[in-house]
Amino acid sequence: MTKITPEIVSDSLEKSTLKLIATGQLVDLFARSISYLRVSLTDQCNLRCIYCTPKEIDEKMAFGELLSYEELLRVIGLAVELGIRKVRLTGGEPLVRRDVISFIQRLAAIPGLDDIRLTTNGVMLKKYAADLFAAGIRKLNISLDTLQRERFRRITGSVLFDQVWEGIVLAQDMGFSPVKLNMVVLRGINDDELVDFARLSQTHNLQIRFIEFMPIGKATIWEKEKYISSAEIKERIGQLGELEPVQTARMDGPARIYRFKQAEKSQGTIGFISPISHKFCDQCNRLRLTSEGKLRSCLLSDKETDLKMILRGGGSDDAVKAALARTVLDKPESHTLRETDGLNCHGQMSRIGG
């Protein structure tokens, strides 16, 4: 059993923290077992999506501010000792960080880490798909908010739509599975493409996921008029046919999954991610590590633990584990954002990782 000194854990949470460390399991105060860590590798992104990383916040974190790969491997290794089994690499854009492939190879060698996933905007997928596959990654989430080249340029500031689409096709051909396409639905910006996206689930082995726009970010274009609920999305794509629910395990993730009933040949599925209209906090099994080393127990709460300070202050492995355990014990029962509220979560998605 790990020996923890009083200096390491001295607040009122001491007993609970010690218990989590001793049992090697991160269970929060609401009996949720935390087994999933999302890691933002960088705040940098090669796109400038109008709702996420617009040009106005082009301030760049100094490289030394990011956790180094060594620091990340140490933290993730310790998190695995505490029961983390699944890691998702995100960003910013994770594939823009230098030497990302050799980092993933080292990550994959951590004993007990069974599942490494990646969320990407797809711009560099063609370049890295083979390396990612060889490194053991099979599950990809690719963000794509439009199927129209010119609109892609307007939303992302990039002319690389074709490159992204070719990356998606390549990933499927190579055998990545599942490949999920994430579309953030924005009224008046891309909602006229709902049916086009839904149809892709009938022609491709893709999971098309419609994500509710969330009031989060420093310089987002959030307005409640732009928000569309999953219920409305579901109704609008209903013109393609009846949707039937697909059974998933309780901890499979936040999406509610469906497929078109009569489309027998339909290969793919439809997912609804409804953080606002259909909270999934009771099933949340996640912890987040931001690009500059802050632990966050809830995407939509700005409360963070400064892990980098512990790492760079010479903190022991036990101190790092104590910080992980304390953050879990501090996880709120649920977030409190509603679409009717103004923007009140200022955490920047590019550093948190979505």
Binding site for ligand SAM (CB under 6 A): 45, 51-52, 90-91, 93, 119-121, 143, 182, 184, 211, 213-214, 216-217, 220, 349-350, 353-354
CB of residue 279 to ligand SAM, shortest distance in Å = 14
By Cβ distance, which residue is nearest to ligand SAM? Answer: 354
Closer CB to ligand SAM, 301 or 316, in the complex: 301
**Whether the Cβ atoms of residue 158 and residue 123 lie closer than 8 Å to each other:** yes
Closer CB to ligand SAM, 218 or 312, in the complex: 218
Closer CB to ligand SAM, 119 or 230, in the complex: 119
CB of residue 47 to ligand SAM, shortest distance in Å = 7
Give 7's DSSP letter. Answer: T
Closer CB to ligand SAM, 121 or 207, in the complex: 121
CB of residue 325 to ligand SAM, shortest distance in Å = 27
CB of residue 20 to ligand SAM, shortest distance in Å = 29
Closer CB to ligand SAM, 4 or 228, in the complex: 228
CB of residue 334 to ligand SAM, shortest distance in Å = 17
Give 245's DSSP letter. Answer: E
100-103: list long-range contacts, CB under 8 Å, 24+ apart.
100/41, 100/128, 101/128, 101/131, 101/132, 101/135, 103/41, 103/69, 103/72, 103/73
The label of the residue with tokens 């969330």 reads 214
CB of residue 182 to ligand SAM, shortest distance in Å = 4
Closer CB to ligand SAM, 121 or 305, in the complex: 121
Amino acid of residue 348: Q
How far apart CA 37 and CA 89 sit, in angstroms, is: 9
HSE on the CB side for 180, CA within 13 Å?
21
Range 44-66 burial, b when 16+ CB lie within 10 A, else e? bbbbbbbbbbbeebeeeeeeeeb
How far apart CA 221 and CA 94 sit, in angstroms, is: 23
